[in-house]
Structure 1
Amino acid sequence: MGKQVNNLVNINILPITTYLKHCLAILIFASSIFSIQAQELPYNTGKKYTLGDITVLGNTSFSEQTIITYSGLRKGKEMTIPGEDISAAIKKLWSSKLFSDIEIYITKIEGDVAFLQIRLSDLPQLNELKINGVRKSKTEKIIKENKLNKGVKVTENLITTTKNYLTRKYKKEGFLNSKIHINTIDVKDSIQTARVNMVLNIDKGEKVKIKDIVFNGNNVLSDKKLRKSMKSTKKINRIRILKRSKFIDSAYQADLSNIINTYKENGYRDARILSDSIIINNNKTISLQINVNEGELYTFGDITFIGNTVYSDAQLNRLLRIKKGDTYNGVLLQKRIADDSKPDAFDITNQYQNHGYLFSSINAVEVSADNNVIDMEIRISEGKPAYFNNVSVVGNDKTNDHVIYREIRTRPGQLYSKANVVRTVRELGQLGFFDAQEITPNFNNPNPVEGTIDMEYSVKETGSSQIELQGGYGGGGFIGTLGLSFNNFSIKDIFKKDAYKPIPSGDGQKLALRLQASRFYQTYSFSFSEPWLGGKRPVQFTTSLSHTKQFRFNPSTRNADKNQSFNITGITFGLAKRLSVPDDYFTLSQAVSYQRYDLNNYNTGLFTFGDGYSNNLSYTIGLSRNNTSVDPIFPTGGSSFSASAKFSIPYSLFNGVDYSTLKTERDEKQVLLSDPNQSADARARISEIDQERYKWLEFYKVKFKGDWYTQLVKNLVLKPSVEFGFLGAYNNDRGIIPFERFFLGGDGLGNYSLDGRESIQLRGYPNQSLAPLDETGRPSNDGGTIYNKFSLELRYPITLKASAKIYALSFLEGGSSYNNFKDFNPFNVNRSAGLGVRIFMPAFGLLGIDFGHRFDDIPGTPGSSNNWETHFIIGQQF
């Protein structure tokens, strides 16, 4: 065949078209050496050869045989050069993502035998990664999202995609000037495998603020109104607090859509954004320029319903609430058909779905727009009514099935209702046994032909038991508290050894035990609650038992005097029934309670007698309604109110005691207290009279409380509240009792309660400091018989995860207490404002701290306004 080829001919085949061109050049060059005519080897045909030996060269840790086998080339194989076989071999080697610089050479040709050589290098593996410029807590996420784990093959594509990903990520977060640099350094050691260390330098820079937002082409809607429609993209304004002026690309894109929606809401359905641009002023600010085409004003014309057989046109028009001649509002039209922002919205879709028509579809179609009057057809495909087939719950490992199923409003065989699905999710969340944010209704096996649907409620259980273990110094001594609250208890399993994991649980009952003690007092309490008495109806049974013992402080020994004590023992039984009228959010509760107050040589200013007792037998009836949204820790909508009345038996009607005479005598003795010669006898007689007056307490007590929750924007919740309480007497001669009174001010928490008093929270003031003034102008130690309170709270969640739910709040509130209606003025209140945070952990309940600033003087303490109070919240109601 002629002389041997001494030069190596390089066929670097990537991409394939380049390879073919190189092959053609080789063949032309070879034809001059081997006396082969070029016209005998056209570009698209090539020549067949039999492969001889194949060798492998390069920096690789793989064996020669492994590389040759993986390439698909083998000795003795007949193939065309140029042709698809070599192209396929190189593609296979590239697809392994193990090599770089893949080249195939023809080393020699002997007749029809071609000898090949594969030259390649292993891609280097990542040895160590160092990330600079971000917190350590962020590095794990960067590694995971970009697959930068140790041992990964480092390619140019990996470096480029990582850089592009981080650049886009930070731009979306508002860091328009972010810079990403990636360097690789070869590792020199005895290990044969190619390895590199990577250094990832991240310079996010500062978030760029928006100096101005300029609109062009808007004549109908002002710049101010269009800027207002941009919910999350705001220009610099030093007064604004809630919305920042930092540029976030994703929020900006959403706000461009909001601009169009604003036009649609005002009748300009053809409004368009022609273009938008970002003008970079400097490294810290940008300006946005938005060019719009407003189009023309449209109005609604005829609105016709097509396909409706279940509901008449009149019924659907009452839901649509849009009339001919109204300014066109595309956003409102869509909400009246199907409001995706509210699962329980008053719209046409929910009307159908709440009455079984799960498979219905409703679409608004414009049929005419002549003279800017839009005629609409609301096309309805009602479909077949759907019925629940199988209804199941998954995820409840601890809570027994019957506890969940009794709260479910969707039953097998029942007509489908979206409202019942939404209500079920709410009821399961209100139980407190599951993470309310994770309750998911899953629609399985929908069958439009047979009209059936399977429902599966997915729940995630959280710890429902709480422990309170505290120790601290207060009231002149160490105070220890031990509290246990089991909120998903099972009393029927208390004698089953296997049920203690660590306690019997799963039946939805509540059991609470609490012990608090110091040198000066001891408090013991027990309570139990069964939410479904008998298991058939939602009738809640509760019972509680408590005992408190208070010892008087001895100033000479500075210790507790065990010979002077005040004891309270109480027991309560209650029933609460869920009503169906006016709706089943209402609950009627009733309770009977008895407390006995025993005083043993306990002479203080709190009571007018030091030895004796009082009995308090009372009946309480209450009506409440709670339709707050799913999560009881952080409700985002709905309201909660309660009204209650507590009565004792009117003993003065039948016990034969002349309280008018006793009152006259007491007033006479009161005058004698200023006479040293008669004061001792007068005081003793007053004590006897008061013992008679309070042997059996006679009173009535009325209370009201209302809370409302409104989601202003996503996650930002406004909570207004109002409270009122009044304690009265049947017999004015007998007077209002010194027990059961209202003590306003502070955190609303009392370490212990001696006399049935109620501590009312009003932050910014010391505990129980807002007492009414007596005849001498001093604050009364006996509390108030009337109080009112107003509160406005703004809440924002930091996290709502099951392990810990945290939200921040700010508040404005005011309130006051009085001794009679003559002085009562609901608008003359002590005002305060402040900030706080709440943390709810299943094991410990609700914890929090508030910083309150008062604007008014504490009663009886002139000059005490404009000061701060810090309040620690433990176990407070939400």
Structure 2
Amino acid sequence: MRLKSLFILYILIFIPLFVFSQQNQLDSGKKYTIGEITVSGAQSFNELTVITFSGLKKGEEIYIPGQRISNVIKKLWDENLFSDVNIYVTDIQDNIVDLEINITELPTLNETTITGIRKGKAKELLKELDLTKGKKVTKNLLTTTENFIKNKYKDDGFFFANVMMNTNTVVDSTGEEIGQNLNINIDRGKKVKVKKIHIAGNNELTNAKVRRSMKNTKQKNPIRIFKRSKYIKSAYEEDKASLVSNYKEKGYRDARIVSDSLAIVDEKNIELFINLEEGRKHYFGDIRFIGNSIYTDQELKNFLGIQKGDTYNGVLLQERIADDTDPDADDLTNAYQNNGYLFSRINPVEVNIQNDTIDFEIRIYEGRLAYFNNVTVVGNDKTNDHVIYRELRVRPGQKYSKRNVVRTIRELGQLGFFDPETIAPEFKNVDPNTGTLDMEFRVEESGASQIELQGGYGGGGFVGTLGLSFNNFSLRNIFNGDAYRPLPMGDGQKLSLRAQASSFYQTYSLSLVEPWLGGKKPVQFSLSFSHTIQYFYDFREREADRDRRFLITGGSIGLAKRLRWPDDHFVLSHAISFQHYNLKNYNTGLFTFGNGFSNNLAYTIGVSRNNTFTNPVFPLGGSEFNVTAKLTPPYSLFNNVKYSTLDSDPEFQNPDGSPNQGLIDQKRFNWLEYYKIKFKGTWYTNIIDKLVLRPQVEFGFLGAYNLDRGVPPFERFFMGGDGLGAFSLDGREIISLRGYPNQSLSDQDGNTIFNKFSLELRYPITLKQMASIYALTFIEGGATYDGFKNYNPFQLKRSAGAGIRIFMPAFGLLGIDFGYGFDPIPGTFQANGWETHFIIGQQF
């Protein structure tokens, strides 16, 4: 094609030269000296530039026509700047010739638009095509662009994608041409489907087993629901590698795909043909370790976990040496790198193959111990250095440990002050000769303060919440005016202010958390205060009676310490809390006395373990457990009150001799006596890509030391809904269960036992710093009970649904769930059906 174009150009050039020679008696066998060189037809190029491009010089001797002229034409053509090039002889004086270079410029690209696909996809495609303004519009550019788009969509399964390209000239106000606009119209068509996958050459594995090893490429099957049969080239290439790996895992070391091909059946279907060569099944023979001095052969064999006679598994062998998918894997490489041997190298070598048995040597180069020289953190322009450095698990002079590097990344991500997706360690000045390295952790600050705006309809009325959380507060600078930007920040403390109100209650709270009390050890100190005014509410009239009220005032102080045993993911916490309940003319079904008070002094001890991965908003792995026990003093052991005989005590009787239940309950509950046990466990499992499975189990029990005194009407469990109905601070706990109205699955006065089981499948849409968004589906079940005599963990209210979560640093977690309740709520006989839940400032 290119030779044809050049041939045409030569004809176009030589014809004018030939004609001129006939008129001016140009001698083709004679050398001429170039006189003047002029340029015509140029628009954006000046004359000197074109002459420079040509390489012709005044005084140069050339043959006309001749190879030199041909080379000049070719050179100008190769610049891809001109659509036409001609060279004319304009004058001859003796042996001196004047030349004219006549050029026609290629049009330049002005604006490119893509239609036929979504705007977001069009924007991404424009970036890939790199069709920047000012590029020359050549046939090659248009052809290359069209082929690129077609191949791109073909790789995604759109085999019959059609691309139409149109250009139109753009002129300015004076009528002068300023470029060409390019419009690309794309008709993707439909993705082709895999009608059939033909397998040949397989004897040991059936066709079905071979196809199952291809996770993403499936042939048509009307029974299959979750995996479609659309063809995507990149996925198919991955599946071919998975197919071979599947054979290698089963001992077929030499398995390979001899050939594969694709046949188009029609515009909707294709068929794939895969020809295999399985080879024979192999087994591990002797495995020897060479070069090891730090670990014994037996220790390395324990790490390797492979015995002589085991079926050969090349994939497993590589994972046991270095598992690239898990930075914390118990493999040989991590065994060395966690012990300081950064420069170690481990290579498995096949040293003997006899029949079906393969002997291996694991050749180890240990190198010298590596130590951290300098450890730095960059990118923190708000958070003070000491807040970061106290979380680092690596120190200058410390022996290198990959585990500690990974743990440092997790700890920095869990702080919540930085974008966890961008935290990265950089190795610098790594010197194997001296055994030293510098490490730099790069962080990007994210918004640490949050505004909580929460609203919902619960408890018979609209509930609104306004909260401010300053998660990187600096208490020591509270009196430093220069530190207010707009508030003193950077010391890692958390200050929260919260107000919640409806037509019949108001509640205010203040809390402060210092994660490193004294700055020396990870001992967390917390302090909180709250006050609630709750009025009697007539649900029929929808009016609040402000002469009948329930006042609750309380606070708590707590300490939590990170443990070293069983490992340093464990935290032991202690807290002392006090609430004073004051009832004034507040007669309800929950309280038998309308005037009086109760006090709730309790000690809470808890053990928790959290080793979830770096991003606290969207963990890809790990688990979180929490066990707490909330205990009040056993007053009935030393107050000498016989609660079983209170109804016969004249002090607690009405004038007619009947028991006054209000007075009795005022005596029983003047100081609350109970114990409360809770457990919560959450697991995160990364299934594939960033698809995460999150099971969760919860259990709670409220009990009494003295059965005659009984369980108090406070601290009870209420289940159902999204949790926004938690309008009272009487110690009640709202257990969310989507698919049902708020608190609809418990008795009016709450219950003393609950259990809940949930299973979520999550996938992120984006995990950017400005907003992390993920979608989820869920199934869950739960119930509340009164005492163990009614407890049945399998008698659950069930639901399922889907939702979406959006985490923005300034507002916290936002989301919406659509849940379907499969069971009737108490008092009804039909499945509850669909419920919509708005998740604002909280997380399931």
Same fold (TM over 0.5): yes
Pairing 1:713-728 to 2, within 5 Å after superposition:
713-728=688-703
Offset of 1:239 from its aligned partner? 4.3
Secondary structure class of the residue paired with 1:207 = coil
1:874 matched residue in structure 2: 840
1:176 alignment partner, one of 153, 159, 162: 159
Aligned-residue offset at 1:100: 2.3
Q: Which amino acid aligns with 2:715?
A: E
Q: Distance in 2 between matches of 1:640 and 1:734?
A: 36
Give, in whole Å, the separation in 2 of the partners of 1:338 and 1:485. Answer: 43
**Alignment-derived partner of residue 723 in structure 2:** 748
Q: 1:422 is aligned with what amino acid?
A: V
Cα pair 2:17 2:89 within 8 Å, conserved = no
Deviations 1:402-421 (A, max 9, x none): 11111111111111110001
Is the contact made by 1:490 and 1:508 (CA closer than 8 Å) also made in structure 2? yes
1:264–1:328 CA contact under 8 A, matched in 2: yes
Match of 2:135 among 149, 152, 158: 152
How do 1:242-257 and structure 2 match up within 5 A? 242-257=226-241
- Checking the alignment, whether the CA contact within 8 Å between 1:13 and 1:104 is kept in structure 2 is no
Residue 75 of structure 1: aligned partner: 58
Deviation readout 1:637-661 (Å, 9 max, x if unpaired): 1111011111111111111212221
Name the aligned partner's letter for residue 718 of structure 2. Answer: F
**Alpha-carbon spacing, 1:128–1:828, altered in 2? closer, same or farther (3 Å):** closer
1:122–1:194 CA contact under 8 A, matched in 2: no
**Conserved 8 A contact 1:663-1:733:** no
1:459 to 1:76, Cα distance in 2 relative to 1, 3 A: same
Q: Which moved more, 1:227-236 or 1:328-337?
A: 227-236
What does the per-residue CA deviation read over 1:394-434, in whole Å, with 9 as the maximum and x for residues that have no partner? 22111111111111111111111100011011111111111
Distance (Å, rounded) in 2 between the aligned partners of 1:509 and 1:242: 46
Aligned in 2, Cα 1:18/1:552: closer, same or farther, shift over 3 Å? closer
In 2, distance between residues paired with 1:196 and 1:713?
46
After superposition, where does 1:513-532 map in structure 2 within 5 Å? Answer: 513-532=497-516
Name the structure 1 match of 2:37. 54
Tell me by how many angstroms 1:789 deviates.
1.4
Mapped to 2, the partners of 1:562 and 1:34 lie a distance apart of 118
Provide Cα deviations, 1:851-878, integer angstroms capped at 9, x if missing partner: 222222323x241325222222222235
Deviation at 1:292, TM superposition (A): 0.9
C-alpha distance 441-87 of structure 1, shift in aligned 2 (>3 A): farther
Q: Give the match for residue 8 of structure 1.
A: none
Distance in 2 (CA, whole Å) between partners of 1:241 and 1:56 is 69
> 2:789 corresponds to which letter in structure 1?
K
The equivalent position to 1:338 in structure 2, one of 294, 297, 322, is 322
1:495 to 474, 479, 500: 479
Provide the C-alpha distance between the structure 1 equivalents of 2:615 and 2:325, rounded to a whole number of angstroms. 17
Q: Decide whether aligned partners of structure 1 residues 241 and 626 sit closer, same or farther in structure 2, where only a CA change above 3 A counts.
A: farther
2:681 partner letter: G
Q: What is the alpha-carbon distance in structure 1 between the residues aligned to residue 383 and residue 200 of structure 2?
A: 61
Inter-partner Cα distance in structure 2 for 1:754 and 1:334: 56
- State the distance in 2 between where 1:62 and 1:557 align: 86
Does structure 2 conserve the Cα–Cα contact (< 8 Å) formed by 1:594 and 1:616? yes
Question: How far has the Cα of 1:153 moved from its partner?
Answer: 1.7
Aligned to 2:413: 429
1:402 is matched with which residue?
A: 386
How big is each residue's C-alpha offset from its partner over 1:319-346, in whole Å with a ceiling of 9 and x where there is no partner?
A: 1111111111111110011010111111
Deviations 1:506-557 (Å, cap 9, x if unpaired)? 1111111011223311100001100001111000001110000011136898
Distance 1:124 1:855, change over 3 A: same
Relative distance call for 1:119 and 1:715 in structure 2 (3 A) is same
Q: Name the CA shift for 1:728/1:248 in 2 (closer, same or farther; >3 Å).
A: same
Say yes or no: does 1:601 pair with 2:567.
no
C-alpha contact (below 8 Å) 1:572/1:594 kept by paired residues? yes
Aligned partner of 1:738 in structure 2 is 713
Asked whether the 8 Å contact 1:123–1:194 carries over to 2, the reply is: no
* Alignment partners' CA distance in 1, 2:22 and 2:9: 20
Conserved? CA contact 2:87–2:100, under 8 Å: yes
Inter-CA distance 835–555: structure 2 relative to 1 (3 Å threshold): closer
Match of 1:264 among 243, 248, 254: 248
Q: Which residue of 2 aligns with 1:319?
A: 303
Distance 2:430 2:492 in 1: 32
CA contact (8 A) 2:674 2:702 kept: yes
Name the residue aligned to 1:202.
Answer: 186
Q: Does 1:789 align with 2:751?
A: no
1:243 shift after superposition: 2.9
Query: Aligned partners of 2:165, 2:266: CA distance in 1, in Å?
Result: 26
> How far did 1:35 drift?
10
1:98 aligns with: 81
Could you give the per-residue CA deviations for residues 151-182 of structure 1, whole angstroms, max 9, x where no partner exists? 33211221122112211221222211111122
Residue 188 (structure 1) shift: 6.5
Q: Choose 811-820 or 744-753, whichever is displaced more.
A: 744-753
Show CA shifts across 1:73-109 (max 9, x none).
Answer: 2322345667886566446544654322223344565
CA distance in structure 2 between the aligned counterparts of 1:88 and 1:144, rounded to whole angstroms: 36
Taking the aligned partners of 1:332 and 1:812, their CA distance within structure 2 comes to 34
Amino acid across the alignment from 1:791? S
Q: What one-letter code is carried by the residue in structure 1 that aligns with 2:122?
A: T
Q: Secondary structure at the match of 1:438?
A: coil
* Match in the other structure for 2:674: 699
**Matched residue, 1:838:** 805
Question: How many residues are treated as equivalent by the alignment?
Answer: 841
Q: CA RMSD in A?
A: 3.0
For 2:799, give the aligned amino acid.
S
Q: C-alpha distance in 2, partners of 1:682/1:844? A: 56
Residue equivalent to 2:663:
688
Matched, 1:328 2:312: yes
User: Aligned residues: percent identity?
Assistant: 61
CA contact (8 A) 1:60 1:193 kept: no
CA pair 551-116 structure 1, distance change in 2 beyond 3 A = same
SS at match of 1:629: coil
Matched to 2:259, the amino acid is S
What secondary structure is seen at the aligned counterpart in 1 of 2:185?
strand
Aligned twin of 2:829 = 863
Per-residue deviation at 1:31? 12
Could you say if the C-alpha distance between residues 103 and 659 of structure 1 is closer, same or farther in structure 2, counting changes exceeding 3 Å? Answer: same
Which 10-residue stretch deviates more, 536-545 or 396-405?
A: 396-405
Tell me, yes or no, if structure 1 residue 800 matches structure 2 residue 778.
Answer: no
Task: Give the match's secondary structure for 2:740.
Answer: coil
Mapped to 2, the partners of 1:390 and 1:546 lie a distance apart of 46
Distance 1:76 1:33, change over 3 A: closer
Look up the match of 1:362.
346
Q: Equivalent of 1:812, from 763, 779, 782?
A: 779
SS of 1:270's equivalent in the other structure is coil
Residues of 2 paired with 1:800 and 1:416: CA distance? 31
Shift in alpha-carbon separation, 1:69–1:582, aligned structure 2, 3 A? same
Task: Show CA shifts across 1:700-740 (max 9, x none).
Answer: 11111111111122211111111111111111111111111
- Is contact 1:177–1:204 with CA below 8 Å preserved after alignment? yes
Shift of 1:748: 2.9
* 2:789 aligned counterpart, secondary structure: coil
Letter paired with 2:36? D
Q: Aligned to 1:544, which of 528, 536, 552?
A: 528
The alpha carbon displacement at 1:127 in A equals 3.6
Deviations 1:274-331 (A, max 9, x none): 1111121211121211111111111111111111111111111111111111111111
Counterpart for residue 759 of structure 1: 734
Shifted more, 622-631 versus 76-85: the winner is: 76-85
Unaligned runs of 5+ in 1: 1-11, 42-46, 772-779
CA contact (8 A) 1:13 1:103 kept: no
Match of 1:854 among 785, 797, 821: 821
In structure 2, C-alpha distance between the alignment counterparts of 1:818 and 1:131, rounded to whole Å = 61
The answer to whether structure 1 residue 638 and structure 2 residue 605 are counterparts is no
Counterpart of 1:4? Answer: none
Q: Please report how far the alpha carbon of residue 199 of structure 1 lies from its aligned counterpart in structure 2 after TM superposition.
A: 2.7
Counterpart CA distance in 2 for 1:188 and 1:713 is 53
Q: CA 1:664/1:434 → structure 2, altered by over 3 Å: closer, same or farther?
A: farther
